[in-house]
Amino acid sequence: MYIAEFTFTFPYQSLDNDQLQAETATVPVRQATGGQASLFVKAEEGTGLSSRMEMDSVVPGDPSKMDSKQKSSADIKRRFEELMKEAQEEGVELPIKKQCLDQEDEKLGPEALAYKKKVRGDLDRQVEAIKKNRAIYKQHCDRLESAEKEIKEMRRVKKGMKTQLDKQQEEIDQTRERLTVTPDESAKSVVDFVENDFDISKTGTYWAPRGPRDIGTAEPVLGKNLATPLELPW
């Protein structure tokens, strides 16, 4: 048993035309058989690839490098399998499968056509899901825009009501200030009233206040509806 290297040809049918194409590669093997040989591998479903690979040549390897090459080959194979598994989990398709999707249905085999229909169905479902999500997103955007307009209007009304309330409060404060009379001011008003307005010798006419409440004002209230004129005979 020793490590050997061989170059093989991997024939496959092109999806662009009906001609056969080939890929060549050189890989290490456990044992060299020499000459022309065939190697059978399992072809991936839906790819249309041939499962037969022809070994064009076999070159004996260096026995001293057996362990390192064997280990390297195992590492490469393991890493390749890991990458393929990750690609499948992430939904990454192989180039050969992408070519299947780009071809017309009439030019595809049964397995490739089934694969294309499966991918097409998955794509249609994803498109429908995106449409639904966009509709829901638009509804939320419309509701948010309507709420923002309503909030703006409520802030405007709030500002107007605040101005109106401040004005009314100012009027109330002014009215309360006019109606509030200290004891000193009340006594002074009564004295002024008695000394001036009640002195009938000056005018001969006395405007009687309507009630005691009017006497306490800073100035006597005179008017048609607030007092009654009393004409004296002299």
Condensed to tens digits (0 to 9), the pLDDT of residues 7-33 reads 444 454 445 555 545 555 444 444 434
What pLDDT, on the 0 to 100 scale, is given for residue 164? Answer: 92
Which range in 30-44, 75-89, 118-132, 171-185 is most confidently predicted, on average pLDDT? 118-132
DSSP output for 53-93: EEEEEEEEPPGGGHHHHHHHHHHHHHHHHHHHHHHHHTTPP
Render pLDDT for 182-226 as a digit per residue (tens, 0 to 9): 555 555 555 555 555 444 444 444 444 444 444 444 444 444 334
Q: Look at residue 6 in the predicted model and tell me its pLDDT.
A: 47
> What amino acid occupies position 155?
R
Residue 126, pLDDT above cutoff 70 = yes
Residue 139 in tokens:
């509804």
Answer yes or no: pTM beyond 0.75. Answer: no
Structure-token match 């607030």, residue found: 226
Region 71-82: what's the mean pLDDT? 69
> For the residues 124-130, what does the mean pLDDT come to?
86
Residue 44 has pLDDT above 50, yes or no: no
| pLDDT recorded at residue 117 | 78
H helix intervals, the chain: 66-89, 95-102, 110-179, 183-192, 200-203, 212-215
DSSP letter at 194 equals: I
Q: What is the pLDDT of residues 49-67, one digit of tens each?
A: 443 444 444 444 455 555 5
Assign 234 a pLDDT band (cuts: 50, 70, 90): very low
pLDDT of residue 116: 74
More confident residue, 183 or 156: 156
Percent of the chain residues past pLDDT 70, beyond the cut:
34
Alpha carbons 186 and 192: distance in angstroms, whole number: 10
